[in-house]
Amino acid sequence: MEVVLAILGIVIVMFAVITLAKSVRIVPQQRMDVVERLGKYKRTLSPGLNLLVPFVDAVRTKVDMREQVVSFPPQPVITSDNLVVSIDTVLYFKVVDPVRATYEISHFLQAIEQLTVTTLRNVIGSLDLERALTSRDQINKHLSSVL
């Protein structure tokens, strides 16, 4: 009988420790965590100590809020004077809304790449070669406004 009570006590203590571990979440400074309750968005955890409802709340995504750098492969672009130019693209971006980055698009990095390439082709396609080479600031402003 004492053995059964000891085992039951150990099980209860283990359950309490697991429950406590699942209810406390420490989020680092550079990150925000998106929490779902039973599969539906509940809230976004900010950096620091956060409490969750154990076994009901789950962290769906951990979104890095720092500025990120992505280099895309060179893209062929045709200028207005029908010359093909290969453009290297380096993109700096920062996620400002982790909920929208999680739920409104499936692969936001791929979407950023495609939007950048499409806009870049559009802008450079309207310029001749000389203006495309000398108006980097104008192209960057246009890309920033679109993105």
Contacts (Cβ under 8 Å, ≥6 apart) of 45: 25, 27, 32, 33, 34, 35, 59
pLDDT tens, position by position, 77-115 = 888 888 888 888 888 889 999 999 999 988 888 888 888
Local structure of residue 123 (DSSP, 8 states): H
Q: In this structure, are residues 32 and 44 in contact, taking their beta carbons and an 8 Å threshold? A: yes
CA nearest to 52, candidates 64, 63, 62, 44 = 44
CB atoms closer than 10 angstroms to residue 75 = 17
CA nearest to 82, candidates 124, 114, 115, 119 = 124
Q: What pLDDT score was predicted for residue 98?
A: 93
CA atoms of 112 and 95, how far apart (whole Å): 11
Domains of the chain: 1-63 (no CATH), 67-146 (3.30.479.30)
pLDDT tens, position by position, 56-80 = 999 999 999 999 998 888 888 888 8
